[in-house]
Amino acid sequence: MCDDPHDHEVESIMSSTSCQSCTIWSMGQPKLLEPREDVTVEQAQARIDELYASGIPFFTKQAIQELWDQIQSKPTSGDRIVTKDLTGASLEWKVKLGKSIELRSSEDRDARHEFIYKILGVNYRSAAHLKGGFRWGEVGSEAYAPMQLMHQLCKADSSSENKETIPDDPIGERDDVARDFQKSAEDWENTETCKNLKSILRSFASGHPINKIIGFACGSLALPNNHHVSVQTALLVTVRNWLKERYNDSDVSCYIQDPMNTSVDKEVLADIGFEMIDDPRGWLEVDERSFVLSVAPNVPVKEIIADIARPAIAVWYKVEEEDTASTDPSTPRVREMIEGYDLHEFASDNDDFKTVVIYIRKSEIPPTPNPDGTFFTPTGKSDKLDSE
């Protein structure tokens, strides 16, 4: 139960699981600031299809910047954050940071634990996710909102007076994490996959101006089960070293965005020249001179980037013909973006990169975005998106 007896706002609890951790999020329902006619789920789904086919960007740097500015202004419990949805309507989201809620334990239905609304997060909804996300057959106020505010819930330490939270998983010590990463990075440098990557970059991307590296959703080096994290971070270091060699050691900005990262990650990443940045800043950094890596993200990275940028290189799962159900779907817009890229395989039997490929933009010259900062060109095709 919320500790504010007047707080009857509907919210749902979602857990986001990776092999490293399970994060619990509370999804509130925003207040619609302009009245809207009630519609059925089918009508709302048809509207989402229409909006998608019309070419309207679901994600824009302007909308992300506006949200980021509000998050950075350090709102406290009771403050409101306002976003606009795809129809242009304003949505008001209530900030609950610091408040608490009691949740039933998943292991023992009779046990309850206190959780604190700890961190603000963004629930990114691709068109397919929006269409499949109608709870209880109702069209809520967030029906057309591709960016929805949510709160990360952390278990409260009932013995502490100041509502301290208990980390779910053991976070490694800085020196151990740094040493383990160095070892993994050396192992990675000796793999065929790394050698192939360097050769592909030298042969096909030497003419692309690149001054930024952004790694999304790599996971946490400081949490257990971090083999993939280490390999993906080591790959980013390889790319940084390639760029430094190419540009005679001039500056390359290197960023990592994953809400799972801890203060230990921040220090270890800083030591290797990477800045750990908060969601949603990473999207604002991606541009036409960027190298982007994103493997198995819990967010629709490809769909967001297809709307806002044309990075020089994107390393991510191969774009499939038909896939709208995954957390990072290959949608018509993603497929259209990828037409401007050449695909290169890692050409190795390394399990870590079996389904990951390298997309290098066909044009070495950075393309110019549309006046609204987006890249999507409406085709007039009314591509139907299957629901989740």
Residues that bind ligand SAM (CB under 6 A): 18, 216-219, 228, 232, 257-260, 279, 295-299
- Closest to ligand SAM by CB, 17 vs 206, is 17
Distance from C-alpha of 292 to C-alpha of 214, rounded to nearest angstrom: 5
Closest distance to ligand SAM from the beta carbon of 124 (Å): 7
Closest distance to ligand SAM from the beta carbon of 285 (Å): 12
Helix count (H) and strand count (E) of the chain?
10, 15
Closest distance to ligand SAM from the beta carbon of 168 (Å): 13
Distance from C-alpha of 51 to C-alpha of 53, rounded to nearest angstrom: 6
Distance from C-alpha of 112 to C-alpha of 162, rounded to nearest angstrom: 19
- Closest to ligand SAM by CB, 57 vs 219, is 219
- Closest to ligand SAM by CB, 20 vs 45, is 20
Query: Which residue pairs from 20-24 have beta carbons closer than 8 angstroms and sit at least 24 positions apart in sequence?
Result: 20/169, 20/219, 20/220, 20/223, 20/224, 20/225, 20/226, 20/229, 20/260, 21/168, 21/169, 21/220, 21/223, 21/260, 22/168, 23/152, 23/259, 23/260, 24/103, 24/115, 24/152, 24/153, 24/154
- Closest to ligand SAM by CB, 146 vs 259, is 259
Distance from C-alpha of 235 to C-alpha of 241, rounded to nearest angstrom: 10
Structure tokens at 149: 């505010």
Closest distance to ligand SAM from the beta carbon of 34 (Å): 28
- Closest to ligand SAM by CB, 258 vs 307, is 258
What Cα–Cα distance (Å) separates residue 152 from each residue in 27, 98, 164, 263, 282?
9, 11, 14, 16, 19
Closest distance to ligand SAM from the beta carbon of 29 (Å): 20
Distance from C-alpha of 263 to C-alpha of 28, rounded to nearest angstrom: 27
Closest distance to ligand SAM from the beta carbon of 169 (Å): 12
Distance from C-alpha of 239 to C-alpha of 260, rounded to nearest angstrom: 23
- Closest to ligand SAM by CB, 90 vs 225, is 225
Closest distance to ligand SAM from the beta carbon of 326 (Å): 11
- Closest to ligand SAM by CB, 25 vs 47, is 25
Closest distance to ligand SAM from the beta carbon of 175 (Å): 23
- Closest to ligand SAM by CB, 17 vs 43, is 17
Closest distance to ligand SAM from the beta carbon of 363 (Å): 27
- Closest to ligand SAM by CB, 47 vs 352, is 352
Give just the sign of the alpha carbon dihedral 326, 17, 95, 13: positive
How many of the other CB atoms lie within 10 Å of CB of 279? 21
Task: Judge contact between 92 and 117, C-beta under 8 A.
Answer: no
Distance from C-alpha of 16 to C-alpha of 257, rounded to nearest angstrom: 16
Q: Any bridge partners for residue 155, and if so which?
A: 115
The secondary element (H helix, E strand) that includes residue 283 is: helix 281-285
What does residue 31 show for φ and ψ, rounded to 5 degrees? -90, 130
